[in-house]
Amino acid sequence: MTAFPIEKIRAEFPILKEKIRNKPLVYLDNAATCQKPQAVIDSISHLYSHEYANVHRGVHTLSVKATDRYEGAREKIKNFINAKSTKEIIFVKGTTEAINLIAQTFAKANITKGDEILITAMEHHSNIVPWQMFCAETGAVLKVAPINLQGELIYDQFEKLISDKTRLISVVHMSNALGTINPVKKIIAAAKAKNIPVLLDGAQAIPHMTVDVQALDCDFYAFSGHKLYAPSGIGVLYGKQALLEAMPPYQGGGDMIRKVTFEETEYNTLPYKFEAGTPSIADVVGLGAAVDYLTEIGMDNVAAYEAELLDYATKKAEQIEGLRIIGQTKEKGAILSFVLDKIHPHDIGTMLDSLGIAIRAGHHCAMPVMDFFEVPATARASFAMYNTKEEIDVLMSGIEQLIEVFG
Ligand code: C6P
């Protein structure tokens, strides 16, 4: 493999030149949201400056141009995740909306009282709460597969929880609180053997690895643009065409219809059936530009580079006395969650900020994970393809400084 073009990549992210508290920014909060390359910023600016109008509605030139850009982005995303058809790419606000869409449509049509939905103990709240709400409404039952102290799914117990009543398995591909990458191929194979559909929460996985929905054979895959170098407010729900065809619509309104009378409404074809109202046009175009950008670099190259970063950071962190890494499985993406003896994660976050280092401190919207590890919160450094080993050195020396002063 040729060397990863880190200097070139860094130069393409204008925000990385910012100073925070008079120090060079060290941005390690990429799991919360990541920064945007100039190509993405330019794509949005270009659309608004030259090609903006509403989509799917006008015969005028600008509307046709904007529609081409919007649908062009759908095609790029289809290729990026290797979906069979653009009909399987539904634009939503983000992962949260994608999962809620499934709960409000697929689940309502297919899951009823006494049926079971299986998740894991390492889910983000957005893959817990929609199911709790659904179960409270319908009498369906939420089952939770346990994890161990390495932060791994206890696969045997997970498999035992798959029953004749399981109607959906909804699992995080990569945990935001632990970094754990779940054995999703094995999970999907076990589900397929019993004809159970699988939804993968790909919010954290998609920026760090090649995702091929056909190779995975998942039924649904949800992700957010803002963690994938694209704008916030846009995300994707991938679904197998036959399942999407059979599902009722999510919201009613413009664009999701073919014909409306006061007596009845005929719904539009896929993917428009699930895209009511004027969509987030510029954000979709920005997502298309992000996907172009990543395709050029190559997701396998991103994954290999970030694996090196995580390995380097983990080895350094292990040398710091009083630091405990939360999430220690070998199958991990570029996330380092940790706690320090005697220093609260919020204080770690605040003190590192004074050195120009941005990390996240908190429960990471995964409170059950915090409960399991009996910590109120963790400090989390999460890496992107533009981070460097030098930045990890700055982080580690910052942690050492604060242990010296406050530990
Ligand atoms: N996690 C984090 O700091 P939205 O907010 O819809 O773009 O993504 C929700 C979501 C779903 N699943 C996982 C695994 C996630 O990590 C997230 C977002 C951010 O970890 C914000 S809480």
Residues of the chain with pLDDT under 50: none
Residue nearest to atom 17 of ligand 1 (CA): 203
Is 94 touching ligand 1 by the criterion CB < 6 Å? yes
Is 32 touching ligand 1 by the criterion CB < 6 Å? yes
Residue nearest to atom 1 of ligand 1 (CA): 32
Is 364 touching ligand 1 by the criterion CB < 6 Å? yes
Residue nearest to atom 3 of ligand 1 (CA): 32
Cα of 199 from ligand 1 centre, angstroms: 15
Cα of 265 from ligand 1 centre, angstroms: 35
Q: Which two tokens stand for residue 117?
A: 């939905």
Ligand 1 atom at minimal distance to the Cα of residue 235: 7
List the strands of the sheet with 198-201, edge to edge. 89-92, 235-239, 220-224, 198-201, 166-172, 116-120, 141-145
Is 208 touching ligand 1 by the criterion CB < 6 Å? no
pLDDT value, residue 1: 55
Give me the domains of the chain, ranges plus CATH numbers: 6-30+298-402 (3.90.1150.10), 41-296 (3.40.640.10)
Q: Which of 371, 327, 374 is nearest to 31 (CA)?
A: 327
pLDDT value, residue 58: 82
Cα of 367 from ligand 1 centre, angstroms: 13
Q: Say how far apart CA 255 and CA 269 lie, in whole Å.
A: 10
Q: Which amino acid is at 316?
A: K
Cα of 84 from ligand 1 centre, angstroms: 26
Q: What is the DSSP string of 160-212?
A: HH--TTEEEEEEESB-TTT-BBP-HHHHHHHHHHTT--EEEE-TTTTTTS---
Ligand 1, residues 28, 29, 95, 363: which to mutate, most atoms within 8 A of Cβ?
A: 95
Is 96 touching ligand 1 by the criterion CB < 6 Å? yes
Is 172 touching ligand 1 by the criterion CB < 6 Å? yes
Is 279 touching ligand 1 by the criterion CB < 6 Å? no
Is 199 touching ligand 1 by the criterion CB < 6 Å? no
Distances (CA, A) of 304 to 6, 34, 152, 395: 13, 18, 22, 21
pLDDT value, residue 111: 98
The answer to whether 399 and 348 have CB atoms below 8 angstroms apart is yes
Cα of 305 from ligand 1 centre, angstroms: 23
Is 203 touching ligand 1 by the criterion CB < 6 Å? yes
pLDDT value, residue 393: 98
pLDDT value, residue 367: 97
What's 89-129 look like in SS3? EEEECCHHHHHHHHHHHHHHHHCCCCCEEEEECCCCHHHCH
Is 126 touching ligand 1 by the criterion CB < 6 Å? yes
Q: Which amino acid is at 104?
A: Q
pLDDT value, residue 324: 98
Each residue's pLDDT tens digit, 226-248: 999 999 999 999 999 999 999 99
Is 173 touching ligand 1 by the criterion CB < 6 Å? no
Cα of 65 from ligand 1 centre, angstroms: 33
Ligand 1, residues 123, 221, 223, 224: which to mutate, most atoms within 8 A of Cβ?
A: 224
Residues identified as active-site: 365
Ligand 1 atom at minimal distance to the Cα of residue 98: 6
The answer to whether 101 and 238 have CB atoms below 8 angstroms apart is no
Residues belonging to the chain: 407
Cα of 380 from ligand 1 centre, angstroms: 13
Cα of 378 from ligand 1 centre, angstroms: 16
Is 170 touching ligand 1 by the criterion CB < 6 Å? no
Ligand 1, residues 29, 101, 365: which to mutate, most atoms within 8 A of Cβ?
A: 365
